[in-house]
Amino acid sequence: MKQRLLTLLTLLAVAVAAFCSVPEYTDENLNYRVTYKWGIINKQAGSARFMLKKRSDHYSALLTARTQPWADRIFQVRDTLSGRMRLGDMAPLLYIKSTHEGGDYRHDEIRYTYAGDVMTAHCERFKVNNKGETTVTDTTLVAKMPGTDMLSVYYLVRRLPFDDMKPGTIARASIFSGKKIESLAVKYVGIETIKLNGRKYECYKINFTFSSERMKDSSAPMWAWIRTDGARIPVKLIGELPIGQIQVLWNDPDSK
């Protein structure tokens, strides 16, 4: 449950090598509600907030996520992700993840360097489990671009050249964590209009799956809908659970 929830809150898509031409990002403040749906049950389980600020030489981003009081009794989540990205291609420069999930605390820091089409991630992880046991690891990971993490990926996806992609096109990228690299495959499905917040949104629909060296598919496929206009805001994401599903839904400030 915890990995699914964090993934759904943060991983709304993936970066690829060729990006479409979109306007430069300015400051953003986007809010989402996380709901649990199973049969007739449809209840808010948490919330997430994404903030982006454009600096003179980089972007800074922040994600905060937390579960509702009723969901805390099942599995409490209090997560903060922050980072910096390059201007232009929004490639990650720094990623910091602090999570309180269940009884565990974890703090990851990843600093990126680049040489041609190769990116190196210098990863430090500090973890305290629910027994008070502390673990510290220091790892260096290397991969060819495109590469991203669980924060910068949210922004990079909106630069995908959807208008030039045919339904069924698959893009792939590497995602860095505090100790490993996972592979992500994202399939462009096509354009679909969805209703949310009492309004209709024309969206690019995508499907994505994770894999690692040990597992071909380390999560069930997930689905996301991204607005076709403006800054291409992701408005909806669905992930299946063993029982029911989690939905991440945009709180449109202009909706009534």
For the chain, list the domains and their CATH numbers: 2-250 (2.40.360)
Instruction: Give me the percent of the chain exceeding a pLDDT of 70.
Output: 86
Query: Within 10 A of 9 (CB to CB), how many other CB atoms are there?
Result: 26
**pTM of the shown model:** 0.80
What number is the average pLDDT over the span 12-36?
Answer: 64
pLDDT of res. 9: 46
The three-class DSSP label of residue 254 is coil
How do strand 147-148 and strand 170-176 relate by DSSP bridges?
Answer: parallel
Mean pLDDT of the chain: 82
Contacts of 173 by beta carbon, 8 Å cutoff, 6+ apart: 14, 15, 16, 146, 147, 148, 153, 183, 184, 186
- Do residues 26 and 198 lie in contact, with contact meaning Cβ atoms separated by under 8 Å? no
Q: Could you read off the pLDDT of 144-193 as tens digits, one per residue?
A: 988 888 888 888 778 788 888 999 998 888 888 777 888 888 889 999 99
Q: Which residue pairs, CB below 8 angstroms and at least 24 apart, start in 206-213?
A: 206/13, 206/157, 208/11, 208/13, 208/14, 208/184, 209/184, 209/185, 210/7, 210/175, 210/182, 210/183, 210/184, 211/182, 211/183, 211/184, 211/185, 212/180, 212/182, 212/183
Eight-class DSSP state of 166? P
Cα–Cα distance for residue pair 61/172, rounded to 1 Å: 23
Q: Could you read off the pLDDT of 74-119 as tens digits, one per residue?
A: 777 788 999 999 988 889 999 999 887 767 788 899 999 999 999 9
Closest to 39 (Cα-Cα) out of 251, 199, 235, 241: 241
